[in-house]
A and B are shown apart, each in its own frame.
Chain A
Amino acid sequence: MPARTVQKKKKTNAPDLSSLVLEKVPTGIRGLDQVTHGGFPKGRTALVCGGPGTGKTLLGLEFLVRGALLYNEPGVCVAMEETAQELVTNMASLGYDLPQLIRQKKLAIDYVHIERKQIEETGEYDLEGLFIRLRAAIEQVKAKRVLLDTIELLFLGLKNDGIVRAELRRLFHWLKDAGVTAVVTAEMGDRTLTRYGLEEYVADCVLVLDHRVNEQISTRRLRVVKYRGSSHGTNEYPFLLDDQGISVVPITSMGLTHTASTERISSGVPTLDAMLGKKGFFRGSSVLITGTAGTGKSSFAAAFAGATCARGERALYFAYEESPSQILRNMSSVGQDLEKWISRGLLRIHATRPTAAGLESHLATVYNEIQEFKPTVVIIDPITNLVAVGDLHSVKAMLTRLIDFLKLKHVTAMFTNLVFGSGIMEETAVGISSLMDTWVVLGDVDQGESERMRTLNLLKSRGMSHDTRMHRFTLSDKGIEIHGNK
């Protein structure tokens, strides 16, 4: 097999080496192929480990199912933990019809059950029975992919560890010879990667799944610990389990390689455009609008969304505070008819409670929605509520990743942020403002005589001459109007 010969020759990657480079099979799992730079090592065994309930089996099964559906590579599942019927039920909840795949001979499931209590051991034996079953199943569907879930149950079922270890070693060699790409799942150990040290036998590609709960909010993460003969992403990537299966979010900070656009787009408020060098925001920039409660942050967001749709572009609005109908009603009172843009398919409002999921899941949702809807403008209203589910540090980390991703796609982003108290910049606002290209601060000044004056200050706007004076603005059914500048 063209395997170990090329290891860390990244820079001198001459084209004639391509035949020597490790071949990979795509998993077909959303995002995972990007993280692993192409999938699992072809004809070898990958180890997926994690604690209970981290999604090991589902990842393995999805590898088989997607292989059968997308790449015409039938699969065999040796299930030691769950019966075939249980697996069918579990996968049905993710939208996969296993019985149909079995009928089409694209999938075979062999449920291997060992009950230690029923078994007496005396003298020598080997696990040829398991080999024979696996071989028969592989021949039955002409399998190219194999899932062993969870092979380490052999250690629980059989008393003689020595035999099991020797046989496992033989099994992994045998799988390699059989030319199938295999996934082995294993339970996380206390101090080792897996409870029974399976990583000792399978060391080509190791994935660790993790399921953390922080303040009642859970986040699933995936990490490629090891990938012999291949480069791979090394970060922890959040992943989602939803009705479409697993999706890994392959975004982390991508660095500052994005190209900056000089194109300008309107903020939707002509008088604000005038302050922004008379043209508006840069396309692909990120805009922060902060202000105390009721200063009109969402109105600016709605105006921006409206202007985007009026140009015939798509805007995606993430609402973490109000329901879509509430937003539509409130915005129509300041002259923004957003409903027509929704019916024309140019605007999508995605409303969720921030506490409904962890930060990473929100990031994953945002990512999936952007991939699907392909907007040119994304509005997150407000990011304040996200701070409720994570500390400032992780919010900043998430925003950095999100902003990098958006910039790469030339998507203009607007974030609103609620601050408390007047005049003093909130810690959160200061913390994330360094990520932003433009920062608009809204406020209101109590004038004493039962009237409050709304104020707007353009605190920064990178790369353009802008008006830095404090301005008064009004909200009416004609929209937003900023006074005192031309």
Chain B
Amino acid sequence: MATSKKTAGKPENNGSVDRKKSKATPFKRPVWELRLYVAGMTPTSIRAFENLKRLCEEHMHGAYKIQVVDLLERPMLARGDQIIAVPTLVRRLPTPVKKIIGDLSNTERVLVGLDLRPAGGWR
């Protein structure tokens, strides 16, 4: 799979995602930098990518960046992020780094994993 990038579009007017609510930078949204590690175009990796894209559109409102790394093409990259399972989604920004492995089919779990929703659910 080629490395594809999707960069932030225009910020949309939904304040619920912006949990910082900082007065100093009222318009600055968190920028999500995500990296999806896969090994070839398998059904699982395609499913993971689609799940991720849908989820980002719904919850990150364009303020995100997805980089897909195919380890078959760039095997040495697996060491840096300590990848053993594929697919693995790595949230590089905001810190701390988070990892979610699997095809991301359980949206709730992914949201919890990305800190978009606390484990108990607050919305």
Which of these, B86, B102, B103, B109, contacts A129 with CB under 8 Å?
B86
Is A132 in contact with chain B by the CB < 8 A criterion? yes
Mark interface residues in A132-151 (1 if CB within 8 Å of B CB, else 0).
11011000000000000000
- Distance between Cα atoms of A122 and B87 in the complex (Å): 10
B98, B100, B102, B104 — most chain A CB neighbours (10 Å): B102
Is A427 in contact with chain B by the CB < 8 A criterion? no
- Residues of B whose CB lies within 8 Å of any CB of A are 37, 39, 44, 47-48, 51, 71-72, 75-76, 78-79, 82-88, 97-106, 109-110, 112-113
Find out whether the CB atom of A112 lies under 8 angstroms from the CB atom of B82.
yes
Find out whether the CB atom of A120 lies under 8 angstroms from the CB atom of B98.
yes
Chain A residues closer than 8 Å to B105, beta-carbon distance: 122-124
Which residues of A (50-79) have their CB < 8 Å from a CB of B?
Answer: none
Is A477 in contact with chain B by the CB < 8 A criterion? no
Q: A129-B39, A129-B78, A132-B72 are in contact. Are A120 and B84 (CB under 8 A)?
A: no
Find out whether the CB atom of A118 lies under 8 angstroms from the CB atom of B97.
yes
Find out whether the CB atom of A120 lies under 8 angstroms from the CB atom of B101.
yes
Is A127 in contact with chain B by the CB < 8 A criterion? yes
Q: How far is the CB of A266 from chain B (nearest CB, A)?
A: 68
B82, B84, B86 — most chain A CB neighbours (10 Å): B84
Q: A120-B109, A120-B110 are in contact. Are A130 and B103 (CB under 8 A)?
A: no
Chain B residues closer than 8 Å to A133, beta-carbon distance: 75, 78-79, 83-84
Find out whether the CB atom of A122 lies under 8 angstroms from the CB atom of B100.
yes
Number of residues in A with C-beta < 8 Å to the partner? 24
Find out whether the CB atom of B99 lies under 8 angstroms from the CB atom of A118.
yes
- Residues of A whose CB lies within 8 Å of any CB of B are 110, 112-114, 118-130, 132-133, 135-136, 154, 157-158
Chain B residues closer than 8 Å to A136, beta-carbon distance: 75-76, 78
**Top-10 shortest CB links A-B:** A120-B113, A123-B103, A123-B102, A123-B105, A128-B39, A136-B75, A129-B83, A122-B109, A122-B106, A130-B84
Q: A125-B44, A132-B71, A132-B75 are in contact. Are A120 and B99 (CB under 8 A)?
A: yes
Q: How far is the CB of B88 from chain A (nearest CB, A)?
A: 7
Which of these, B72, B83, B110, contacts A122 with CB under 8 Å?
B110
- Distance between Cα atoms of A133 and B77 in the complex (Å): 9
Chain A residues closer than 8 Å to B98, beta-carbon distance: 118, 120
Find out whether the CB atom of A129 lies under 8 angstroms from the CB atom of B113.
no
Q: How far is the CB of B61 from chain A (nearest CB, A)?
A: 22
Interface of A, secondary structure class, is mixed
Q: A133-B75, A133-B78, A133-B79 are in contact. Are A119 and B86 (CB under 8 A)?
A: no
Chain B residues closer than 8 Å to A119, beta-carbon distance: 99-101
Find out whether the CB atom of A125 lies under 8 angstroms from the CB atom of B102.
yes
Provide 11 A-B residue pairs closer than 8 Å at the C-beta atoms, listed in order of the A residue. Answer: A119-B99, A122-B104, A122-B110, A124-B105, A125-B88, A127-B86, A128-B39, A132-B39, A133-B75, A133-B83, A158-B85
Q: Nearest residue in A to B72 (C-beta to C-beta)? A: A132
- Distance between Cα atoms of A135 and B72 in the complex (Å): 10
Chain A residues closer than 8 Å to B76, beta-carbon distance: 136
Chain A residues closer than 8 Å to B72, beta-carbon distance: 132
Find out whether the CB atom of B78 lies under 8 angstroms from the CB atom of A123.
no
Find out whether the CB atom of A125 lies under 8 angstroms from the CB atom of B101.
yes
- Distance between Cα atoms of A136 and B79 in the complex (Å): 10
- Distance between Cα atoms of A373 and B39 in the complex (Å): 57
Find out whether the CB atom of A126 lies under 8 angstroms from the CB atom of B110.
no
Find out whether the CB atom of B71 lies under 8 angstroms from the CB atom of A126.
no
Q: How far is the CB of B27 from chain A (nearest CB, A)?
A: 30
Find out whether the CB atom of B44 lies under 8 angstroms from the CB atom of A129.
no
Chain B residues closer than 8 Å to A158, beta-carbon distance: 85, 101
- Distance between Cα atoms of A132 and B37 in the complex (Å): 12
Chain B residues closer than 8 Å to A123, beta-carbon distance: 47-48, 51, 102-106
Q: How far is the CB of A293 from chain B (nearest CB, A)?
A: 65
- Distance between Cα atoms of A44 and B37 in the complex (Å): 30
Find out whether the CB atom of A124 lies under 8 angstroms from the CB atom of B85.
no
Other than the given A118-B98, A133-B79, 14 more pairs (CB < 8 A) read: A112-B84, A118-B99, A119-B100, A120-B112, A122-B113, A123-B105, A124-B103, A125-B85, A125-B88, A125-B102, A126-B44, A129-B85, A158-B85, A158-B101
Chain A residues closer than 8 Å to B37, beta-carbon distance: 129
Q: A118-B99, A122-B113, A133-B84 are in contact. Are A128 and B71 (CB under 8 A)?
A: yes
Q: How far is the CB of A14 from chain B (nearest CB, A)?
A: 47
A112, A114, A125, A157 — most chain B CB neighbours (10 Å): A125
Q: A122-B110, A132-B39, A136-B75 are in contact. Are A113 and B102 (CB under 8 A)?
A: no
Find out whether the CB atom of B83 lies under 8 angstroms from the CB atom of A125.
no
Q: Nearest residue in A to B105 (C-beta to C-beta)? A: A123
Q: How far is the CB of A118 from chain B (nearest CB, A)?
A: 5
Chain A residues closer than 8 Å to B79, beta-carbon distance: 110, 133
Q: Nearest residue in A to B48 (C-beta to C-beta)? A: A123
- Distance between Cα atoms of A158 and B86 in the complex (Å): 13
